[in-house]
Amino acid sequence: MKLLLVEDDKAIADTLVEGLTAAGHAVVHVTTGARALTEEGHDLVLLDLGLPDMDGRDVCRELRQRSATPIIMLTARSEEFDRVLGLELGADDYVTKPFSLRELVARIRAVGRRTGDATPNIDDRDPANPQVIGAMELDRRTRRVRINSEEIALTAKEFDLLAFLSDDVGAVRTRTEILEAVWDVHWYGPTKTVDAHVASLRKKLGDHGWIEAVRGVGFRLEPPL
């Protein structure tokens, strides 16, 4: 995904450019609102509100009038009024400083999925065709799962959880990433919700080896040995 980063703090910008590039994104960095309004061709905007030449909210309003490109606001302002105003001006999400790179990457993915601009899966699968993982066949189009040709009855959330883990087989997904992708980016419930659904999903898949818990981190999906 091509990102436009609008941030005047060099230290923050350098860290974000390095981290987001390592996460697989192409990043164009500008330091002013005026420059941001001249840039084109990006898939998502990371917009700091405290810019030297313009109020970031005015930049957000102008960008939204021009296109539907997703916007995530980056700001030290945490008051509810500012958050609500930012969203009303057209922002798709709001991240309050300080934030972790992991959180920001997860939010970029979540906004991308909601707006249809998510980074393609690494194996460039055709979503119209079932994904085969060992003995499992996962069909996103019909929302059906089969193991050894036997269909497994899953709830909507169980299917969404399994599909999310299947997007990158073998990769560890944190509980926060799972909550934001499967539930909602603004989910405020306990992370134990993930563990409960994983336990139910393991039972239905018939082998706990399908979903491995990585202590202190999260879960990964792999065919059992």
Classify residue 213 by its DSSP letter: E
Q: What average pLDDT does the segment 53-69 reach?
A: 90
Residues 139 and 109 occupy one common structural domain:
no
For 4-8, 181-185, 205-209, which range has the lowest pLDDT when averaged over its residues? Answer: 181-185
Do 161 and 92 belong to one domain? Answer: no
Q: What pLDDT shows up at residue 81? A: 52
Instruction: Indicate the helix (H) or strand (E) that contains 14.
Output: helix 10-22
Same domain, 110 and 164: no
Confidence of residue 80 (pLDDT cuts 50, 70, 90): low
What is the mean pLDDT of the segment spanning 123-151? Answer: 83
- Specify the pLDDT at position 126: 55
Strand order in the sheet with 44-48: 26-30, 2-6, 44-48, 71-75, 93-96
- 57: domain CATH number is 3.40.50.2300
Residue 191: predicted pLDDT: 62
Number of domains in the chain: 2
Look at residue 200 and tell me if it is in a domain: yes
pLDDT over 70 at 162, yes or no: yes
What confidence score (pLDDT) does residue 118 get?
A: 46
User: Is the confidence at residue 158, as pLDDT, over 70?
Assistant: yes
- Residue 191, domain member (yes or no): yes
Q: Rounded to an integer, what distance in angstroms lies between the CA atom of residue 1 and that of residue 25?
A: 5
The pLDDT, as a whole number, for residue 123 is 43
Q: What is the CATH number of the domain that holds 170?
A: 1.10.10.10
Q: Tell me the H-state helices in 150-191.
A: 156-166, 175-178
Asked if 138 and 105 sit in the same domain, the reply is no
Q: Please state the rounded mean pLDDT for residues 69-96.
A: 75
CA 34 – CA 45 distance, rounded (Å): 14
Residues 25 and 68 in one domain: yes
For residues 199 and 92, which has the higher predicted lDDT (pLDDT)?
199
Residue 71 has pLDDT above 70, yes or no: yes
The pLDDT of residue 120 is 41
Q: What is the pTM of this model?
A: 0.54
What is the predicted pLDDT for the residue at 203? 94
Q: Which residue has the higher pLDDT, 87 or 207?
A: 207
Are the C-beta atoms of residues 52 and 7 closer than 8 Å to each other? no
Domain that holds residue 136: 131-221
- Is 159 found in the same domain as 70? no
